[in-house]
A = this chain, B = another copy of it.
Amino acid sequence: MKTINIAILGCGTVGTGVARLLLKNGDILRDRIGCELHLKYVADIDTHTDRGLDLQPGVMIPDAAMAIADPTVDIVVETIGGEGIAKRLILDAIETGKPVVTANKALLAKHGNALVAAAGKRGVDLAYEASVGGCMPIIKTIRESLVGNRISAMTGILNGTCNYILSKISDEGIIFETALAEAQEKGYAEADPTLDVDGLDAAHKLAILSALAFGMRINFDDVYIEGISKITPLDIEFASQFGYCIKLLAIAKFNGRQVEARVHPTMIPFDNLLSNVNGTLNAISVSADAAGDILLYGRGAGMMPTASAVVSDIADLARNLIANGCGRVPIMGFQGDRIRPMAVMPMDEIVTHYYFRFDAMDRPGVLATIAGVLGKYAISLKYVHQKGRKTNGSVPVVMLTHHAREADVNRALSEIGALDVVAGRPILIRIEDENGQE
């Protein structure tokens, strides 16, 4: 039986999970792949911490470069994270002619085009299933299962931390800060939660998926990003009265000319399956011309779910090595010469439904004034809702719009926010509701 030698670079949570899975399920991997996935090296500067791995002597080494340079190593797995040393080591491995598996979404989102170009030039595979959606096979589904489809839209809950926090706010009526603190306590949020709660992590993933689905270059800088820190129990309560819940959605659409790519808190109807995705779970729905809508759901993070995806990549690359089929599926889903830069729709041009909440002074004529400004910008209303609860002399006025253009909405809200009769900044939450009337 052929042996494929694996080197894992970085033995943090994910690296440890990958090593553990290769050891624990080595038998079933052999039975399925028909080769031995041999854990040759685990490279980490910290070789002393006990990670509960039963490694043979000589496997744990402090020097990643040595693992890459060893000519017997067949596949390199980067589980270091970050954009510095991880990038250099991946490029080194590619240069040495070794296929690479990585789970590093931030790196791919920002430097993916360079890495893909390097791998393409050297003719080695670069696999990254674990970079998006943990164990959900979304990369494989887009690259292989939907190969015969034109993909028009993707809508995903791609950050478990945000989903946990929003579920908490929603279920318990607590404020964002309290929910975040609980998430940190349970280990679902980092000490510095910025990457998650500000929407950056979801945006990294969306940049990768958009490229794959639409055949474009990875385009992280053009993803519109808005986090969840301004979501209040009050808005969640109003949403629920309209039949919506609030999720941090990563949304990508392609109309044949321009791509939309945006991450922001979004209201979705309760009968959308995504609204039932709670806690730290992830899900993504893909709309394709032949398949229709398909949805994947599962654990988007965590040691073993992520390891499951990394090991599936290792298996794919091992199968390619055995069959001499490197490059069998192009790294970004499209043949290199078919990947093009593509126009990204400026956020100002987005057309969608909106939820507004204004803190309006409880005086006659206020509603007419607000509605007048909206009318001036051609924003027509579907629902207006004024609730009694007076706080500091103001009452929340809630409105849902028909389709409106983001630029018009921003101008109108600026003007309304500047009115004497409106306290504080108006709240805006976008709505995705395909069944909502125009």
Contacts and interface: CB of A to CB of B under 8 A. Distances in A.
B296 A294 contact: yes
A290 B308 contact: yes
Interface string A275-313: 011000000000011111111111100101101110110
A273 to B, nearest CB: 6
Given A312-B148, A335-B32, A21 B290 contact: yes
Contact of A291 (B29, B276, B293, B298): B298
Copies of this chain, tallied across the complex? 2
A291 B135 contact: yes
A69 B244 CA distance: 58
Contact of A135 (B137, B143, B290, B308): B290
A317 to B, nearest CB: 12
Given A129-B145, A298-B295, A315-B147, A290 B276 contact: no
Interface string A321-360: 0111100111001110010000000000000000000000
Interface range, A side: 35 or more
Contact of A140 (B140, B148, B302, B333): B140
A141 interface: yes
A333 B315 CA distance: 12
Nearest to A31: B338
Nearest to A22: B148
B289 A149 contact: no
Contacts of A136: 294
Contact of A315 (B141, B148, B292, B309): B148
A144 interface: yes
Interface string A171-188: 000000000000000000
A406 interface: no
A334 B31 contact: yes
A25 B148 contact: yes
B319 A307 contact: no
A316 interface: yes
